[in-house]
Amino acid sequence: EMLNCYQVWGGSDGEPAGWLSLRLAEISQLKLTTKRFAPRPEKQRSDGAMSWLGLSEAEAQGYLIEGVEIAAVNGPRAVVISGESQAVQRVGAEVERRGGKSRRLAVSHAFHSAHMDGMLEQYAGVLQRVELRAPQLALMSNVTGKRASEQELRSVQYWLKQARGAVRFGSC
């Protein structure tokens, strides 16, 4: 049986994977990207943390302290924060102290935070070596929460923003 797909959506690092999967006919590009030019994990700081908060984005903003950023807005009352490990822990503890919900996430890096800054230049180099083409199917942008335009998907800056900034799954 064949599955017909009309739209693709991927979470966080799944968005670039979704874009690549739509380009699978160009397997040489995929191999080139993943084997030769992929950003090295050592360029990403690994001393950070992420936590889920059962708060709205506006409520979560009120808890942010230095070293902590909103990494994802997953729904009306589902936000993920990311950043310095101890600072993320302090925010989670304060949310719980005030009767809210918080859960530390098991992650290898503090994604969508300043901890990604060290890999952005190398990632831009990867993207500049690959021909960025629009997919044949619609791709939902977790940067904007809307259908990604061809112009966005062909822009190195879009993919850097997707790697570094907050993603908005709740808007997709």
Instruction: For residue range 140-149, list pLDDT tens digits in order.
Output: 888 888 888 8
Give me the long-range contacts of 143-147 (CB less than 8 A, separation at least 24): 143/15, 143/167, 143/168, 144/168, 144/171, 145/170, 145/171, 145/172, 146/171, 147/7
Burial status of residue 77 (CB atoms within 10 A of its CB: 0-12, 13-18, 19 or more)? middle
The reported pLDDT for the residue numbered 43 is: 55
CA distance linking residue 13 with residue 91, whole number of Å: 25
CB 104 within 8 A of CB 49: yes
CA distance linking residue 113 with residue 92, whole number of Å: 17
Instruction: For residue range 92-145, list pLDDT tens digits in order.
Output: 999 999 999 999 999 988 999 999 999 899 989 988 888 887 777 788 888 888
pTM listed for this prediction: 0.78
Query: Phi and psi for 118 in degrees, rounded to 5?
Result: -65, -20
CA distance linking residue 66 with residue 114, whole number of Å: 11
Instruction: For residue range 48-77, list pLDDT tens digits in order.
Output: 999 999 999 999 999 999 999 999 999 999
